[in-house]
Amino acid sequence: MSTPTDSALFDEASLSVTTVTDREAFSASRLRYAGTVGRSIHRGISMSVRRQRVWTRPVAAFCALGLAATLVGACSSSEVQEAAPDARSHVDGAPDASAPVEVRANVSRKQPVPVDRVVTVSAEHGALSTVILRSGDGGTVPGTIRDAAWTADALLEPGTSYVVTATAEAADGTERTVRRRFRTVELSLDQQVYPSVAPLQGETVGVGMPVIVSFDLPVTEREAVEKHLSVESSPEQAGAWRWISDTEVHWRPKKYWQPGTEVTVHADVNSVPTGEGRYGQESRTIDFTVGDAHIYKVNMRTHEMRVFSNGDLLRTFPITTGKDGFITRSGTKVIMEKFRHRRMRSETIGIPAGSAEGYDIDNVEYAMRLTYSGEFIHAAPWSVGSQGSANVSHGCTGMSTADAGWLYDLSRRGDVVQYVGSDRPMTLENGYGDWTLDFADWKSG
């Protein structure tokens, strides 16, 4: 058995490890090991703001494998052959005490490693006891030893130096620790795709709120990215993802969320290929809570809104909706955002300023957006005389200031507003239109 003072020889051709007790043999070999740990700069998490940087971010999710290369060096090829196991005396499944331990990894210091490489380390003629994959700034990449190999649980950062250190135990009980240095490829800003997630961290939302992951550049590898997106809820509720566009994917439950549900969203897209040579950056984890079940039912024929909370009818309001030429859409809508005061101009919905239908109102109160096309619920004191009897708006739902203020205080993002009474339908892409489809059609998209 070798002693702790034994040296390790390194050879770039075989890159295996052997023990040397003969100091003269070591001197004749003229082989030595040298290495330095690279340095990298880790930066904090962003949401959807793109920043001018090329290097590192916190480590995230994992994906494809690369070619295997040996972790560190060893003795000359002739010495390896002399130390090779004797097949006639070797017991199947057990390390051969006569063979040197070889530790191998699928990374090389000779060329930059792709950021989507899942680093693996294995040992021959011995067993791995510990593996540490560390970046230049001291951060570590988690991993697991299973089935005689160590596999990283996360992918790599661009333009970053790493050192993988592995300890393997030989059959005779001796341990050898070996290292491999490598560096990942650089990525330009145009090769980096950043996610943002809604709802926000810690937000309480309505029962109709979808989970929304948006990307600042198009995603063409949708299936690969979707595998790294997940939604966990307590109590558990079935749901599914659907791509709304090449930059936005939604998850919604089969039915409205149960009130009180706690939800965690994981967007583990860091270094995951998104297509066309681009990679995800900065994984996100978001927790949010579902509040009471607020369902508002609007009948455009009877000009009224009924407000329900957890199944109980709280109030019924007179309202007005869109007149001819500006018909309000029927279907299920979701409150997207709230404004205590908002300027509203006709040009934003295609009505020229100064025209007969033009308007510019600087201080509309209690405005809650329902569609991207410009439908809101808001206070409309100028139409109180028509509320409850006629539709006179340009598509919004108008209420008295007092009624609109009461509803505004009750409401939150994600509350459901169901409209009936027109032949103009709400569409999937015009806001949070997730509930315009039944769940079977939703899953198929």
Q: Are 269 and 60 in contact (CB under 8 A)?
A: yes
State the DSSP H helix or E strand holding residue 316, giving kind and residue range, or none if neither: strand 312-318
What tokens does 123 get?
């040992």
Q: Are 293 and 310 in contact (CB under 8 A)?
A: yes
Catalytic residue numbers read 378, 396
Q: Which of 58, 71, 45 is nearest to 135 (CA)?
A: 58
Concatenating the DSSP letter of every residue in 217-254 gives S--S-HHHHHTTEEEEEES---EEEEEEETTEEEEEES
Q: 97-135 burial string, b = 16+ CB within 10 Å, else e?
A: bebbbbbbbbbbbeeebbbbbbbbbbbbbbebeebebbb
What tokens does 243 get?
């791509």
> How many whole angstroms separate alpha carbon 120 and alpha carbon 113?
13
In angstroms, what CA-CA distances link 247 with 57, 190, 428?
A: 21, 15, 15
> What is the Cα gyration radius of the chain?
31
